[in-house]
Amino acid sequence: MLEKLSEAIRTLTLTNVLIMALIVTIMVPAYFAYKFMTDEGFRRELMATAVIVDKHVPCIVLEAHRYGASDRHTISVVYGIDGRMEKIIGLRAPGTLTDSEIDETCKRVITMAEELKR
């Protein structure tokens, strides 16, 4: 079997090798395009992003974009630690917030966290 395989490799010409490389080069992007078009979970994972934004407030400001939806802000704060896990409380806006709204929401979240601590 190894002898037949080595014979097949020896008979390959440069043209054959280039054609096989071209086929592989086309197959990889075609597979991902097919997967993107047919698998909603793959598409959702590929198209969703979330970034922690520095808005100079004491809260964590997360700006997220989900496939098929508009941008949203989530304002949260850590109010305690349970072992290695952080306890987080936050508010999620139905859309994007202005800087003043982020500041207001951060103050509300801090107040809620202080109430939870008591």
pTM attached to this predicted model: 0.62
> Would you place residue 73 in the very low, low, confident or very high pLDDT band (cuts 50, 70, 90)?
very high
d(CA 101, CA 83): 33
- What tens digit of pLDDT does each residue of 44-53 get? 888 888 888 8
The whole-number pLDDT of residue 46 equals 84
Q: Name residue 82's beta-bridge partners.
A: 85
Residue 60 has pLDDT above 80, yes or no: yes
DSSP the chain: -HHHHHHHHHT--HHHHHHHHHHHHHHHHHHHHHHHHH-HHHHHHHH-EEEEE--SSSSEEEEEE-TTS--EEEEEEEEEEETTEEEEEEEE-SS---HHHHHHHHHHHHHHHHHHH-
The whole-number pLDDT of residue 43 equals 86
Quote the mean pLDDT of the chain: 90
Residue 68 has pLDDT above 80, yes or no: no
- What tens digit of pLDDT does each residue of 20-45 get? 999 999 999 999 999 999 998 888 88
- What tens digit of pLDDT does each residue of 78-87 get? 988 889 999 9
Mean pLDDT confidence for 81-98? 91
d(CA 10, CA 24): 20
